[in-house]
Amino acid sequence: MSSVKNVINDSYKLMLLKDYLREAIKEAGFSEVDIQKTPTGTRVGLHVTRPGIVIGRKGSGIRDLTKVLETDFGLKNPQISVIEITKPELEPSVMCNRMSQHLARGTAFRRAVMWTMQTIMEAGAMGVQITTSGKLRGDRSSFEKHSKGILPRAGHQATVIVSEDIVHVQTKMGLIGVRIRIARKERFIPEFELKVMKKEAAPKLEVPEEIEIVEETQIDPTKPRTESEVIELEEKLIETVETFEEVEEELK
């Protein structure tokens, strides 16, 4: 088999693996997967918002997932590592999955778009663009594109700071495609850098050895534990979002 066919075959297997993980660990907020082949086996890195759901009780989730990757996808000795996403609102794949669940539950697509854009910008994004296509209103297919903030579309900056993802959701009207592009501020590369003199660090206070500092970590019961709970909470808040049509009616 030539090198070109090997690349195509690996890309096809990776696509099937991502589609499987989207459904298998959907409640954990799956974002992406990294695969690295080593002499001892295959390293699989799963980027999720809730690692505890993937790991399972006493590692049962990891063991079950390892068997599936080895038997169904042909990965040799898979070694799974779970990586937590600190800001899920800035990950296009996570927001695509959340928006697709809203559309599948019957939420109006414009309300879902406005809510998703508002959530992404409040999380600290530099810009966002959401494109929805398919049977949005009637029998004829159409598409709408909404954007907010600054979003580079060409050049080196666009390839560095902009990340995107696409998802398809089946609704009563038909199949709807959602594409989300997010520009992150921390990835921006400035053309010029301003050098600032470093200030001297303040002296650290010495704590006597007799005094022990104890930090208590409490679990917030009101915080959602799974992606389904996040969707249920957001559905109540989406109803308060105003669309362009409602604003036009108020101005008349």
CATH code at position 74: 3.30.300.20
Residue with tokens 């209103």: 137
What pLDDT score was predicted for residue 181?
A: 94
Q: Is residue 211 included in any domain, yes or no?
A: no
What pLDDT score was predicted for residue 133?
A: 92
pLDDT(129) > 90:
yes
- Residues 126, 159 within the same domain: yes
Average pLDDT (234-239) is: 78
- Residues 149, 95 within the same domain: yes
Q: Which of 171, 17, 166 is nearest to 97 (CA)?
A: 166
- Residues 110, 66 within the same domain: no
What pLDDT score was predicted for residue 119?
A: 92
Q: Per mean pLDDT, which of 33-37, 208-212, 237-241 is the most reliable?
A: 33-37
Q: Is residue 24 included in any domain, yes or no?
A: yes
* Domain coverage including residue 77: 3-84
What pLDDT score was predicted for residue 160?
A: 84
* Position 251 confidence tier, pLDDT thresholds 50, 70, 90: low
Q: Is residue 132 included in any domain, yes or no?
A: yes
Which of the two residues, 246 and 165, has the higher pLDDT score?
A: 165
Average pLDDT (136-154) is: 86
- Residues 27, 114 within the same domain: no
Q: Is residue 208 included in any domain, yes or no?
A: no
What pLDDT score was predicted for residue 215?
A: 44
Q: Is residue 215 included in any domain, yes or no?
A: no
Residue with tokens 């917030």: 220
- Residues 39, 111 within the same domain: no
Domain count, the chain: 2
pLDDT(134) > 60:
yes
pLDDT(180) > 90:
yes
- Residues 137, 36 within the same domain: no
The residue from 33, 54, 84 where one domain ends is 84
Query: Beta strand pairing status for 78-84 and 41-48?
Result: parallel
Output the average pLDDT for the chain: 80
What pLDDT score was predicted for residue 208?
A: 46
The answer to whether the CB of 196 falls within 8 A of the CB of 211 is no
Q: Is residue 110 included in any domain, yes or no?
A: yes
Amino acid at 83: I
pLDDT(20) > 80:
yes
- Residues 46, 114 within the same domain: no
The residue from 84, 117, 144 where one domain ends is 84
- Residues 162, 37 within the same domain: no
- Residues 136, 174 within the same domain: yes
- Residues 134, 231 within the same domain: yes
- Residues 140, 98 within the same domain: yes
CB atoms within 10 A of CB 87: 13
- Residues 126, 247 within the same domain: yes
Q: Is residue 201 included in any domain, yes or no?
A: no
C-alpha dist (Å) from residue 8 to 12, 15, 44, 73, 194: 6, 11, 19, 15, 45
Amino acid at 124: G
pLDDT digits (tens, 9 = 90+) for 77-126: 888 888 888 888 999 999 998 998 898 888 888 899 999 999 999 988 99
Residue 96 sits in a domain whose CATH number is 3.30.1140.32
Average pLDDT (70-80) is: 86
In angstroms, the CA 223 to CA 238 distance is 18
The residue from 50, 84, 118 where one domain ends is 84
The answer to whether the CB of 42 falls within 8 A of the CB of 36 is yes
Paired tokens of 91:
């990950």
Torsion angle of C-alpha atoms 93, 95, 99, 102, degrees rounded to 10: 120
Q: Is residue 160 included in any domain, yes or no?
A: yes
The DSSP element (H or E) to which 114 belongs, if any, is: helix 109-122
pLDDT(216) > 50:
no
pLDDT(250) > 80:
no
Question: Strand, helix or coil at 99?
Answer: helix
In angstroms, the CA 226 to CA 27 distance is 5
